[in-house]
Amino acid sequence: MDCEVAQPKTSHSKNSFVTPFEEVLFYFDIIKMDGRFTKDLTQSADNQASIYAVIGIARSFEMFCVAQNVETASDAEVLTTLGVDCLQGYHLGVPTLTSPWQQ
């Protein structure tokens, strides 16, 4: 099977190995974790391990880490303990058309 993938600032061919991470350019600075990982977090050791790994990647590349769908105080506590920078979800506030500071 012939397949070639081009990456910024890297050489490539169908027989070459992946180049080191320091050669890949990232044009983003935020990682936003899907809510499926954060739901019922206190009962899922697998999701906790996945989030911990994502936080490690975010820190390695100096990225801001956001968790979605935070719906309980216990999930918020676990996420902040693991090192997530920002939380979003119904536990913290419901979506509105007008921000509270604009009312």
Nearest residue to 20 via CA among 31, 11, 30: 11
pTM above 0.75, yes or no: no
Half-sphere exposure for 27 (CA within 13 Å, toward CB): 2
Domain boundaries, the chain: 27-98
Per-residue pLDDT 10s for the chain (103 aa) are: 333 434 444 444 444 555 555 566 667 889 999 888 888 888 889 999 999 999 999 999 899 999 999 999 999 999 999 999 999 999 888 888 887 777 7
Tell me if 64 sits within 8 A of 84, measured CB to CB.
no
